[in-house]
Amino acid sequence: MTDFLIIEENKERLQSTSKKSFLRGFTEMKTINETGCLPGNLTENLKETFIVDVQKAEGKALNVPLISPITAATVRIEKVGNVAIRIELFDGCVGWGEAPILPPITAEDQPLAMSKVAEACESLKRSPPMTLGLVLGKVGSILQGHAFASVRAGVEMALIDAVSYSVGKPLWRLFGGVSNTITTDMTIPIVSSVEAAQLASQFREKGFKTLKLKVGKNLKADIEVLQAIRAAHPDCAFILDANEGYTSTEAIQVLETLHEMKLTPALFEQPVHKDDWEGLGRVTKIAKEKYGVSIAADESCRGLADLKKIVEENLADVINIKLAKLGVLGALEVIELALASGLHLMIGGMVETRIAMGFAGNLAAGLGCFKFIDLDAPHHLSEDPVVKGCEVSGLELMICGMAESRLAVGLVTLLQALDVSTIHVLQAIRRAHPNCSFIIDAKEKYTSTEAIQLLQELHEMKLTPVLFEQLVHRDDWEGLGRVNQIGREKYGIFVAADESCRGLADARKN
């Protein structure tokens, strides 16, 4: 089971004159300018003018099961074991971040990441009010280099997310406002040709037009899988991702075989080992000149130094931007230089929930400069621990802005994990948005006794939800009836059945 449920803590922003100093000089980022470079408002204007005063900061393990294990050339992923970060500013505005943990791709394992998150959070809570730029610099000094890039990204996400709420602008607008929707590819891991064909058929039915195929463990099997996918989904574009699995000779052989089969990949990602610069350059040159295929550097581009080498020696055509390997600010720097150097961009991720994928999606949609979108990770999770946030609908990610979200509270598991009471969260929401009505959706987590106790506490504090949704387990008919009767007769609160109503039979019973 998932460790905890994330709450959408969307609040009406304060507009009083006491906040003028926090909004001084704020402007939105513009879109990519004519030279292909970022104008840098987020990294300059907000960093220099927005004053950050962190009241609370904490991290918790974020463990989520997968639908099935994901196998790539260099790693097999059995489950998600990430870290979620929550930061609350002085005005009650809350931001969320996520540090994806995937050794050996990330340098951190989960215990180390938890320790470094705790260190960064303690430092933020002790810090006096200072500009966003100074706060991010402080985070960078604690979480330096590639060794802590994933944790740094998670803390930066949470800070920037909180700031976006405080200034009343959704993230995709801060990052440029080009769009609030992106279309992703869908990944097929290393599986048998039969399984690959089945997955390709499923994804075709769901509307995915680009499939990303993990390759690099077995050259012959990779070709067989490609043939099976093309037969099952003949109209799809496809991306090959070798995750460093081939030698340069093997990578060129793959391209030659595909050419003979009249199959041309839209992109060939990280064909060789990350430090095989000569091999990467050789594959890039032959792929482009002989087969018209672009090569992407992923593991080979871990920062500005790597990017400069790639640009100077013409080693790749596309750079894969991943927040977990660069951090948010590092990613913006790499994006700017890559665009200025005439390279194309791809945005990807590790295996993350909608916290990290939503942030990356906001960045990609807002900037509008990515040729390839690979943000399909939520489709591979068997549970979704996030309430609200970005919406994943088939192949599209709808990036919900602050203004479009409804106030709904998905409670219980997160609150227990973080030692935060339901009442405190509702009080904070009411203070920030005194005129709002609210719905509590318990997702079957309460016993009937716990639910009634919560109703009593809410009544005593004059906090009355308009609806109390699925308080008890779906099959606890007696408990549901008990809560419904007491809620309606004693407190005037309606109780809704969600998971308990799966058809006419259940509706008649209700």
Query: 116, 212, 322, 388: which one is catalytic?
Result: 322
- Confirm or deny that 269 is annotated as ligand binding: yes
Cα–chain center distance at 134: 25
Alpha-carbon distances of 109 from 99, 104, 156, 339, 504, rounded to whole Å: 10, 9, 19, 32, 48
Q: Tokens for 422? A: 């339901």
Question: Which alpha helices (H) appear in 341-412, and where do they start and end?
Answer: 354-367
- Confirm or deny that 419 is annotated as ligand binding: no
Are 380 and 189 a contacting pair, CB within 8 Å?
no
Give the residue from 6, 5, 15, 7 showing the smallest Cα distance to 432: 15
Q: What is the DSSP letter of 382?
A: S
Give the residue from 5, 7, 113, 3 showing the smallest Cα distance to 407: 7
Q: How far apart are CA 468 and CA 234, in angstroms?
A: 48
Annotated catalytic residue 206: no
Are 375 and 361 a contacting pair, CB within 8 Å?
yes
Q: How far apart are CA 268 and CA 284, in angstroms?
A: 9
Are 185 and 67 a contacting pair, CB within 8 Å?
no
Annotated catalytic residue 79: no
Question: Which alpha helices (H) appear in 71-131, and where do they start and end?
Answer: 110-126
- Element (H or E) spanning 318, and its range? strand 318-321
Q: What angle do CA 444, 408, 353 make, to 5 degrees?
A: 75
Are 123 and 134 a contacting pair, CB within 8 Å?
no
How do the residues of the chain divide into helix, strand and coil, expressed in percent and rounded to 5?
45, 20, 40
- Element (H or E) spanning 320, and its range? strand 318-321
Query: 214, 325, 388, 445: which one is catalytic?
Result: 214
**Mapping DSSP to helix (H, G, I), strand (E, B) and coil, where does residue 22 land?**
helix
Burial 360-394 (b: 16+ CB within 10 A, else e): bbbbbbbbebbebbbbbbbbbbeeebbbbbbebee
Other residues' Cβ atoms within 10 Å of the Cβ of residue 251: 28
Please enumerate, by residue number, every residue annotated as part of a binding site for Mg(2+): 241, 269, 298
Please enumerate, by residue number, every residue annotated as part of a binding site: 241, 269, 298
Q: Mind telling me the catalytic residues?
A: 214, 322
